[in-house]
């Protein structure tokens, strides 16, 4: 086994040098008894998974990693890297209860947020409709936590900070992108809107913006699911009075209008001019979408000559969550990760000069999925051509 000093050097230098890290050596650290060694091994493994698609390693060592990581919070990267699979199902079933416990009981924000990330990514990937509904309810309880409502619960429950509550609402909006009309039929949007209206009056800016993301996704999904509406109708006219009471809709619009034109922060803490401008810009964009049908626009740079554009709140919520979880590795994943490409519905295009060594192996190696699919398609075409020739020859003989 490599020394910890050498592993630490590899873990810290691999991104800058471009060298492939020794993942097996990092995995070996998970068998150490010392907690410091375990933490180092986990930290070294997380970084390569976030920065690139380690599909082969996860395919062969995934069960081992899952077994060793049932007490940590980075299983979401497993779901993002290999997509829907038996292994991800195992991770979801084995860790769901524990992830909920950590998200609801730990006092450290980073632990709670990491637990929420893993929980929603696993649910997004392999969760059933019931699983999704249950997790949405769990996220809602964290986001709307009221200390007075929890006096009868176990004293270990820690009141989530605004940071945790805001992220719970962000996760809620992200996971809501997967639900069908059945979910809306079973849940009271009036109650959700009334709760939002109260929370939008609160001090914390990040909670307000996270709620705004959920509002935009709800209006978009309800409008798109309504087969009786016309393309000329605004989202507000479709939702108000039909799916949500007019008074609840009017209240939400009023609250967001106040936030869109707020001249100073409501919080007792000082709000920076940049944050205030960001809030105003965001809520103006949401209002323009709801009232006038102006779709949002997000543009991602794929390569020197290729951009990817999104014009729906659903895709924006998904991209923002992927970027939040992958950090600087999102660029590599969106070019090589087939799961993310499927979710976002795009296929990257780039020249050979723009490919990194890892991407060249992914797209040009004889054993890559891309080449195997290309070979399969070519063989299919050859078979069709041969069959056509054979049919033509038989017809000629019969004549």
Map 4-47 to HEC letters.
HHHHHHHHHHHHHHCCCCCHHHHHHHHHCCCHHHHHHHHHHHHH
Give residue-wise pLDDT tens across range 136-165. Answer: 999 999 999 876 665 445 445 678 999 999
Report, as an integer, the average pLDDT of 163-188. 94
pLDDT for 287:
97
First to last CA, the chain: 75
Q: How confident is the model at residue 386 (pLDDT cuts 50, 70, 90)?
A: low
**CA 86, 100, 112 angle in degrees (round to 5)?**
110
Please report the sign of the dihedral spanned by the C-alpha atoms of residue 300, residue 272, residue 108, residue 27. Answer: positive
The listed range with the strongest mean pLDDT (23-32, 188-197, 293-302) is: 188-197
Helix 162-176 and helix 205-225, axial crossing angle in degrees, nearest 10 = 10
Q: Considering the chain, what is the average pLDDT of its residues?
A: 76
- CA-CA-CA-CA dihedral for 321, 324, 326, 331, to nearest 10: 80
How far is it, in rounded angstroms, from Cα 284 to Cα 216?
A: 11
Q: How confident is the model at residue 209 (pLDDT cuts 50, 70, 90)?
A: very high
Percent of the chain clearing pLDDT 90 (strictly above): 35
Nearest of 70, 51, 57 to residue 22 by alpha carbon: 57
Given a cut of 90, is residue 254 above it in pLDDT? yes
How far is it, in rounded angstroms, from Cα 270 to Cα 254?
A: 24
pTM over 0.85, yes/no: no
Q: Which domain holds residue 379?
A: 365-399
pLDDT for 151:
45
Report, as an integer, the average pLDDT of 338-351. 78
How far is it, in rounded angstroms, from Cα 223 to Cα 386?
A: 50
**CA 94, 95, 99 angle in degrees (round to 5)?**
165
pLDDT for 257:
96
Stronger pLDDT, 324 or 153, i.e. the higher one: 324
Stronger pLDDT, 194 or 41, i.e. the higher one: 194
Given a cut of 70, is residue 203 above it in pLDDT? yes
Given a cut of 50, is residue 2 above it in pLDDT? no
Please report the sign of the dihedral spanned by the C-alpha atoms of residue 97, residue 100, residue 104, residue 107. Answer: positive
How far is it, in rounded angstroms, from Cα 338 to Cα 5?
A: 35
Give residue-wise pLDDT tens across range 233-253. Answer: 889 999 998 899 999 999 999
For residue 145, give every residue at least 6 positions away whose Cβ sits within 8 Å of its Cβ, in sequence order, or none. 159, 160, 165
For residue 35, give every residue at least 6 positions away whose Cβ sits within 8 Å of its Cβ, in sequence order, or none. none
Is residue 371 assigned to a domain? yes
Q: How confident is the model at residue 91 (pLDDT cuts 50, 70, 90)?
A: confident
Lookup: tokens for 133: 């509904």
Q: Parallel, antiparallel, or unpaired for β 298-301 and 307-310?
A: antiparallel
Stronger pLDDT, 117 or 358, i.e. the higher one: 117
pLDDT for 248:
94
Nearest of 13, 33, 31 to residue 21 by alpha carbon: 13
Is residue 41 assigned to a domain? no
pLDDT for 387:
62
Stronger pLDDT, 360 or 168, i.e. the higher one: 168
Residue 203 DSSP one-character state: S
Percent of the chain clearing pLDDT 70 (strictly above): 60
pLDDT for 117:
92
Phi first, then psi, for residue 272 (nearest 5°) are: -70, 155
- Burial level of 107, CB count in 10 A (0-12/13-18/19+)? exposed
pLDDT for 108:
85
Residue 153 DSSP one-character state: S
Helix locations, the chain, DSSP H: 4-17, 23-28, 35-51, 55-68, 76-82, 86-105, 109-126, 129-143, 162-176, 181-186, 189-199, 205-225, 235-239, 246-260, 273-292, 313-326, 330-336, 338-344, 357-364, 369-398
Phi first, then psi, for residue 167 (nearest 5°) are: -70, -30
Least confident of 75-79, 198-202, 213-217, 370-374: 370-374
Is residue 207 assigned to a domain? no
Number of structural domains found in the chain: 1
Is residue 397 assigned to a domain? yes
Q: How confident is the model at residue 121 (pLDDT cuts 50, 70, 90)?
A: very high
Given a cut of 70, is residue 82 above it in pLDDT? no
pLDDT for 288:
95
């Amino acid at each position: 086994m490599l020394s910890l000093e050498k592993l630490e050097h590899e873990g810290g230098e691999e991104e800058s040098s471009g060298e492939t890290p020794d993942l097996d050596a990092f995995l070996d650290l998970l068998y150490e008894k010392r907690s410091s060694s375990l933490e180092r091994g986990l930290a070294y493994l997380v970084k390569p998974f976030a920065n690139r698609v380690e599909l082969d390693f996860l395919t062969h060592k995934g069960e081992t990693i899952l077994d060793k990581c049932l007490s940590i919070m980075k299983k979401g990267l497993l779901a993002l890297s290999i997509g829907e699979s038996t292994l991800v199902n195992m991770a979801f079933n084995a860790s769901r209860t524990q992830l909920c416990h950590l998200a609801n009981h730990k006092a450290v924000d980073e632990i709670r947020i990491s637990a929420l990330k893993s929980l929603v990514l696993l649910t997004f990937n392999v969760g059933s409709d019931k699983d999704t509904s249950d997790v949405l309810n769990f996220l809602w309880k964290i986001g709307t936590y009221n200390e007075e409502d929890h006096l009868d619960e176990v004293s270990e429950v820690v009141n989530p900070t605004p940071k945790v509550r805001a992220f719970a609402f962000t996760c809620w909006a992200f996971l809501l992108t997967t639900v069908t009309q059945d979910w809306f039929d079973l849940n009271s949007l009036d109650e959700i809107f009334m709760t939002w209206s109260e929370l939008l009056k609160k001090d914390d800016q990040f909670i307000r913006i996270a709620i705004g993301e959920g509002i935009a996704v709800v209006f978009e999904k309800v409008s798109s699911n309504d087969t009786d509406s016309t393309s000329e109708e605004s989202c507000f006219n479709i939702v108000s009075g039909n799916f949500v009471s007019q008074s609840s809709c009017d209240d939400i619009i009023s609250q967001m209008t106040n936030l869109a034109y707020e001249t100073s922060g409501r919080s007792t803490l000082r709000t920076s001019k940049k944050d205030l401008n960001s809030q105003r810009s965001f809520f103006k964009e949401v209002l323009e979408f709801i009232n006038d049908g102006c779709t949002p626009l997000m543009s991602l740079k794929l390569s020197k000559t290729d951009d990817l554009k999104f014009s729906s709140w659903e895709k924006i919520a998904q991209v923002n969550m992927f970027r939040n979880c992958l950090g600087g590795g999102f660029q590599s994943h969106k070019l090589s990760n087939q799961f993310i490409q499927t979710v976002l519905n795009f296929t990257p295009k780039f020249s050979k000069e723009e490919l990194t060594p890892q991407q060249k192996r992914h797209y040009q190696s004889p054993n890559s999925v891309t080449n195997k699919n290309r070979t399969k398609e070519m063989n299919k075409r050859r078979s069709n051509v041969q069959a056509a020739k054979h049919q033509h020859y038989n017809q000629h003989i019969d004549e």
